[in-house]
Structure 1
Amino acid sequence: MVDKPWSLSDEQRAETVTRVAQNIESLAFSRGVDIKDAEARTIAADVEKKAYTVATVEATTTTGFRPHDEVLKSYARKLAALVLDKVQATNGKDQEAGARTDSTELDLAGDREFLTAESASEALAPLLAQGSAITKVKFSTKSFGRDAAEVAARAVANVAASLEHADLSDIIAGRPEAEALEAMRIISGALSQVQLRSLNLSDNALGEKGVRACAAAISGQVGLQRLAFQNVGCSIRACQAVAELVQNSGELRALHLYNNMSDNEGAIAIAQILSRAPLMEDFRMASSRVGGEGGIALAQGLSAGSSLVKLDLSDNPMTAEVAPALAETLRGHEELQVLNLNDVALGDEGIESIAEALPANLVELHLALNEVTAEGAANLAVALARLNRLQVLSLRENELENDGAIAIAQALTHLPQLRTLDLAQNQIGRLGAVALAKAVAGAANLERFDLDENQISEGGIDQIQDILEKAGLSKTLSLEDNDADADEEGDEGEEEGEEKGGADVDDLADALANKATL
């Protein structure tokens, strides 16, 4: 590393602007776009300023400064990318979302940019204007350092009386840790004077230190309804910090955590917030390494209320251990519409417990990657017959095989509003697939029927396509990558396959009929 920061002289930057302006005119002409000299010059000055800011930030590391040549290449690459973006925009006009005219909302999301004090003042001008009454801000994709954060703090203070929603997701990308934390502290300090209804801190590399840097924006909120910490490095200690800071959760209706490393202890900490949030409607803690113990704690925390509309615990290794507690919680949330339990390793045992507790108002049910076999499918099918509002059913990547598919098929006739059925990668052969096709043939609202990567023979594929074509649903079908030779024995006769189910099929049919009339 070198011992002084990278920079260019004013003369060098001015010469760069001149050359870039010429290139813009040439590129525009070749694309049939009319850009005048003055406009090209303005665009060139703008993109050079952004590229120079990016290079200046990237020149600094935690241990010193990058070599001049390395930073210069970064500067040139950013310049080229920005020029192409500008020329491709219609007539060279900036199409960023920040140009919206809605007087109650400022959305900066668009091209990535490292903001300086000057560029932050320009971007946040609607917030800084006298008499501004903006209620919602989104700073995403703009990276704030100390100087830009100071401007943002003044802007937030200026609209403190009207601001209700603050989206601070992805606002410190590329900044050294110390500067990033300081920027979060500065902006959060300004938000402490605002009574927010929603706060989004997702997609920032926070960790525990970052969460605590946002303390001022979190701890004083008494009417906060929506809070998000998605993809922020929310480790065990970070989750504990969140639980410590979010004490006023009586009005909280949505809490989202995703793609973190929370584990059981982190989930237990988050469960403390849930136990103080009786109005919770939308909870997500997906892809967070939560096991059975943590899942049970979350389920118990959610029992504090009865208002859940959406619940997403997907991609966590909770296993069947969580099923009894979760089932008990589901029974208390009769208005639940969306349940996502993809990839939580429930197995047949867990599916049986969950199936019995599914609320009747469910609209979407996601149970992919749960090692469900025909046994679990039979239990699930009985429950599905009660869910006459169901529109989306995903059992992707399980182990249903023909018997499981036939069981599910019998339940489908009780789902008049079904729009999406995903049974891809389930080792389903011709018999099961044909049973499913016959069952959905009467589904007037069907939009997608996915049987990709199963074991359906060529004869079965032809038969399924014929059934759906006659029903006017052929465009809904997806049958890619089936192993056409894997189920040749299924072509010997459908009757033989149906006999294979024997009394079990008859028992299931009786159970479905009874459940459907409850």
Structure 2
Amino acid sequence: MFNQKQWNQLLAQGERGLQERVKTECRHYTSIDLKGAKLQLIHIQMIAEILQENKTLTSLNLDSNNIDSEGAESIAKALIKNKTLTTLHLGLNNISDKGAKSIIQALIENQALISLDMSGNHIGCDGISNITDLLENNRTITTLDLYCNNIGVQGAKRIAQALENNKTLTSLNIGLNNIGDEGAKNIAQRLEKNKILTSLNINYNNIGNEGAKSIAQALEKNYTLTFLDLYFNPIDDEGVKSIAQAIAKNSSLTFLNLGANNIHDEGAENIIQALKTNKTLTALKLDSNHIGYEEQAKIEQALERNIHVASLFHGKGIMRVLKKVLSKFWI
């Protein structure tokens, strides 16, 4: 991997001839990781030019470099010509909707990239229309990270519509986007019919009970989703009851994160009942809720009947539960 240390060594030799030195060095690698390297626009443009000609690189990480929309346009031009890159990280770069449009238009032509990280780029609802074009026209992207882009309810609706026709996306992260109950409902409606997506992150999204009920309904009909992250949403016992009932019937989900919601003992009791019949869940996170020690003890008992699940609590509860689970593998 060509990393920041090697980059700094080449940069220390001066700007003159830097592009040729980097170009020569990168011939020996399949991956470039320059996350947080404080690259200037001229450096981004240089890397983009190298990318156009390079035949060995499969992964490029430019996270946290503030490349903005102009830098994104340079990368986009390279993506049109490059046929080997499969993973691209552009998170936290202030790309905005303008830069996102350039990247997405390039990827509609590019049929090599598999994984795209555009998290934390202020794309907004307007920029999401470009993302939906990608989902509807690209046939190679399997992993898409749009975490923290302020897409809101309307953005969630557009993504949901695009999921209806997409046949390749298996992992979607739209956490911290304030999609709310309405946005969650739209995503859930597509999940009922979607047979491709296996991983969905919708944490930090202000999803309440109504959104949780829609997701639960989808889980009863969906048999491909294996990973669901609902961390830090205001879902209380009412919403968790619906999710628990869905878990009891669902036979595909292996990871469920309900940490930092508003779950009390009543909600925990419903989860306990679900664990009696569910045989596929391997990781259940319930930390930072309001579950008493008595209910934690009951979940311990449920775990004794199901050695596959690791249920997480803060403090002493987590150690007690994990010791119970782990001891079963060392008999």
Both proteins in one fold, TM over 0.5: yes
Whole-angstrom distance in 2 between the partners of 1:439 and 1:308:
35
TM-superposition CA deviations, 1:254-303 (whole Å, max 9, x none): 43321211122221221121222355532221122221111111111212
Which 5+ residue runs of structure 1 have no aligned equivalent?
1-166, 186-208, 486-518
Between 1 and 2, higher relative CO (CA 8 Å, sep ≥ 6) is seen in 2
8 Å CA contact 2:4, 2:37 repeated in 1: no
> 2:10, 2:18 within 8 Å by CA — same for their partners in 1?
no
Q: Residue 76 of structure 2: which of 266, 271, 277 is its match? A: 271
Q: What are the superposed Cα offsets for residues 30-73 of structure 1, whole Å, 9 maximum, x if unpaired?
A: xxxxxxxxxxxxxxxxxxxxxxxxxxxxxxxxxxxxxxxxxxxx
Rg comparison, structure with higher value = 1
Alpha carbons 1:277, 1:304 under 8 Å: kept: no
Distance 1:222 1:471 in 2: 50
2:11 paired residue number: 181
Aligned match for 1:314, one of 115, 119, 124: 119
* Offset of residue 483 of structure 1: 4.4
**Cα distance change on mapping 1:354 and 1:399 into 2, 3 Å:** same
2:222 counterpart residue number:
415
* CA RMSD between the two structures: 3.0
**CA–CA separation in structure 1 for the residues paired with 2:190 and 2:270:** 29
SS in structure 1 of the partner of residue 102 of structure 2: helix
Q: State the distance in 2 between where 1:476 and 1:338 align.
A: 21
Measured after TM superposition, the shift of residue 223 of structure 1 is: 11
Q: Classify 1:181/1:475 alpha carbon distance in 2 versus 1 (closer, same or farther; 3 Å).
A: closer
Report matched runs for 1:257-406 at 5 Å. 257-277=62-82, 280-358=85-163, 359-406=166-213
Does residue 426 (structure 1) correspond to residue 233 (structure 2)? The answer is yes
Cα 1:221–1:474 change in 2 (3 A) is closer
Tell whether the 8 Å contact from 1:367 to 1:395 is kept in structure 2 after alignment: yes
Paired with 2:227 and 2:82, the residues of 1 have a C-alpha distance of: 33
Q: Identify if the C-alpha distance between structure 1 residues 388 and 413 changes in structure 2 by more than 3 Å, giving closer, same or farther.
A: farther
Length, aligned pairs only: 290
The aligned residue for residue 466 of structure 1 is 273
Distance 1:366 1:329, change over 3 A: same
Q: Deviations over 1:204-224 (max 9, x none)?
A: xxxxx59x6253332798998
State the 1:454 CA deviation: 0.8
CA-CA distance at 1:172 after TM superposition: 5.4
Counterpart Cα distance in 2 of 1:429 and 1:440: 16
- Alignment match, 1:457: 264
Does the CA-based 8 Å contact 1:219-1:245 persist in structure 2? no
CA distance in 2, matches of 1:345, 1:321: 10
Q: Could you say which residue in structure 1 is the equivalent of 2:318?
A: none
The SS at the match of 1:444 is: coil
Where 1:286 maps in the other structure, the secondary structure is: coil
The one-letter code matched in structure 1 to 2:225 is: L
The answer on whether the counterparts of 1:306 and 1:332 sit within 8 Å (CA) in structure 2 is no
TM-score scaled to structure 1, two decimals? 0.51
Structure 1 match to 2:5:
171
- What is the DSSP-based 3-state SS (H/G/I as helix, E as strand, rest coil) of the residue aligned with 1:470? coil
Fraction of identical pairs, as percent: 26
Corresponding residue number in structure 1 for 2:302: none
Cα distance change of structure 1 residues 414 and 462 upon mapping to structure 2, 3 Å threshold: same
The 3 A distance-change label for structure 1 pair 245 and 335 is: closer
| Contact preservation (8 Å) 1:390, 1:415 | no
Shift of 1:357: 1.6
